[in-house]
Structure 1
Amino acid sequence: MMLLRIKIGKISLDIKDSCTIQYNGESIQFNSKQLINITKLGEGNFASVFLTKLEHRPDVIFACKRMTLENHGNNNYSSQSDLKAMRAVGNDHHPHIVDFYAALIDLTDGQLVICMESLETSMDKFYPILHLQFHPTSFLLDLFIRRLAKHIVLGLDYLKSKNLIHRDVKPQNMLVARPLIFKLCDFGICGILKDSVSSTHLGSLRYLPPERLGNVCSYGTRSDMWALGMSLLEISQGYLPLASESIMSFMSQMKNGWQPDLPLTLNQHTRDLLSILLRHDVNERPRYYSDILSMESIISIEENPSIDEINLVNYVIQSLPPKTPE
């Protein structure tokens, strides 16, 4: 075992190249050399995520996020933020936050490796198949969107209780698992709230609210609420609003009072939810996540999903392309 003190941004962290974790009630020890990549799950500006197994325990599966430590600037910021946030919230086993297992140093590749819970898929891969192959009834699609909204809002509200704001809410960072549960992941640009406000200008551009497009300004949870609204609209209709527009045209329309064309396949209560999340004026969006959780579209959801909901999720997951080895 080797213990290294690494500096990420202004923070020094003691991280080992091996660890012992609890996995399904069992204590398991391993080192970074025993992590075997199965397939790449995703890639961003600062990191790649792999479905990974243990060399000596192929039944132990993780999602491993690998971030190179040699670079500076935003890459260091992402590493620092992701690790701090995962340690702060991922150990608590919140039902709508992806679980954190361990952080290790891969000395061979010079990478920070964050080992997390692996779920079936992300919403950006799920919803195209949902619409193209299954064409759910309006009732079932509406129920699906409302349950997704509830789970993600519960996750965001939990982050807020830790004085954190996600800052990159989008379908790619919403995970889905059987029988029917949704979880937030990817805390690479998660920010600390001071007096419920953050100011660092980060986030995926097409999910940023109008007040943040081209502006450096203070913002809070209402920024994540807008991103959630855009994500729910995208998932419910099967495509991102204004996806065919250039980024400059997109920004111009957003800043100049764009109003969403809400799908009539959703019931009025659900359209009310999306409408209030996508209010152009930041002060007209809900002040607290509890305000969202008390809306009719949310409180009317049965605690346990119906058989039809569970079957729909199972059918879509079974129809996903197989995860092929790298």
Structure 2
Amino acid sequence: MMMMGHQRSYSLPRYTLSMKLGEGSFGCVYKAIDNYSGKVCAIKLLKHNVDLRNLPEVKILQEMKNHPNIVQLKQVFRENGVLGLVFEYMDCSLGKLIDDVNHSRQVFSEFKVRDCCFQILKGLDYMHKRGYFHRDLKPDNVLVARGGIIKIADLGSATMFKSDMLNTEYITTRWYRAPEVLTECKYGPAIDMWAMGAIMAELFLCQPLFAGTSATDQLYKICTVIGSPDPDDLSWLGADAENYEFPRFEEISFDNLRPHVSEDAFNLMTLLLSWNPSKRPTAAEALRHPFFKPCY
């Protein structure tokens, strides 16, 4: 049993909770010790009214079992009325790593950015090929372990792709939200690729590329960086394409942001951050981009 200050106390014979790592809509995540094996793990303790049947994350993680770039679900348990998910423990999030580098007034090398993006894309490719997409990809949902291992985590918003899927506003954290989500249009796995482009840029900048304060401001921020969309790139707006007005900006090159980033890196970011979802590369296509040639 572990008391968490003013937090609720839990009686878990097998696990000793040591530190709260985070909190989400379904419950809290704690660092813990498995008293049987002595190993460190992460446990998501679910709220009392959560039904496992309403948690697609469990089914999806079970299908993603053993991929090296997707966090592993080790066990689902119920002890003394507490329902929990046991995950492998990772040292920190990519978001925390970016903050630490930014505060130290340093930058990531292109080698490090390449390695991070390669591993995230490997996980996305595996997920997408099995018919699922993440829908909330961001640095805080990418975990890092000692040795530089990168794993996609927090699949609570992940779902199976359906061609007639309607937009849900809360899906995807705003700064990583694709234009088709911001404009409440139909969307698909390409929203993960937009988020991947934003994450890649953030690794170079050590700060978010599009830090909007609302959906409207987010679109404005996007236009100021990549320029306003051409009419040919607005097919995803459907019948609203002619009536929807975007802020007018000429195309602005990423060269103004990071002069020392390679041409291949700029090219891949530009492709991932395409207004038209159909022009964004899939995860498999992105992995074959020249930027990743040193990885093979």
> Any runs of at least 4 consecutive aligned residues in structure 1 with deviations exceeding 4 A, and if so which?
76-79, 254-258
1:54 aligned to which of 22, 26, 34 = 34
Q: Deviations over 1:31-90 (max 9, x none)?
A: 943221111112223322111112354x2111111221416xxxx69951211111111x
Conserved 8 A contact 1:168-1:189: yes
1:236 aligned to which of 200, 204, 225 = 204
SS at match of 2:70: coil
AA of the residue aligned to 1:96: N
SS at match of 2:109: helix
1:80 aligned to which of 49, 55, 60 = 55
Structure 2 residue 218 is matched with structure 1 residue 251: yes
Query: For structure 2, which runs of at least 5 residues remain unmatched after alignment?
Result: 1-10, 227-251
AA of the residue aligned to 1:40: K
Conserved 8 A contact 2:137-2:196: yes
AA of the residue aligned to 1:295: H
AA of the residue aligned to 2:92: T
Match of 1:320 in 2: none
Kindly indicate which of the two structures has a greater share of residues assigned to strand: 1
Q: Deviations over 1:255-298 (max 9, x none)?
A: 75751744223211111111111112222211x22210111001
Q: Structure 1 residue 152: deviation in Å?
A: 0.5
Match of 2:69 in 1: 96
1:151 aligned to which of 106, 111, 119 = 119
Match of 2:15 in 1: 35
Mapping of residues 1-326 of structure 1, within 5 Å: 32-57=12-37, 59-70=38-49, 80-89=55-64, 91=65, 93-108=66-81, 111-133=82-104, 135-136=106-107, 141-194=109-162, 198-199=165-166, 201=168, 202-215=171-184, 217-243=185-211, 245-253=212-220, 258-259=225-226, 261=254, 262-286=257-281, 288-301=282-295
Q: Structure 1 residue 141: deviation in Å?
A: 1.4
Conserved 8 A contact 1:141-1:266: no
Go from structure 1 to structure 2 and tell me whether the alpha carbon gap of 1:236 and 1:44 turns closer, same or farther (over 3 Å shift): farther
AA of the residue aligned to 2:41: F
How many residues align structurally?
Answer: 256
Please report the RMSD computed on the Cα atoms of aligned residues, expressed in angstroms: 2.5
- The percentage of aligned residue pairs carrying the same residue is 23
- TM-score normalised by the chain length of structure 2: 0.78
- TM-score normalised by the chain length of structure 1: 0.71
Query: For structure 1, which runs of at least 5 residues remain unmatched after alignment?
Result: 1-30, 304-326
Q: Comparing 220-229 with 127-136, which one deviates more in the overlay?
A: 127-136
AA of the residue aligned to 2:283: Y
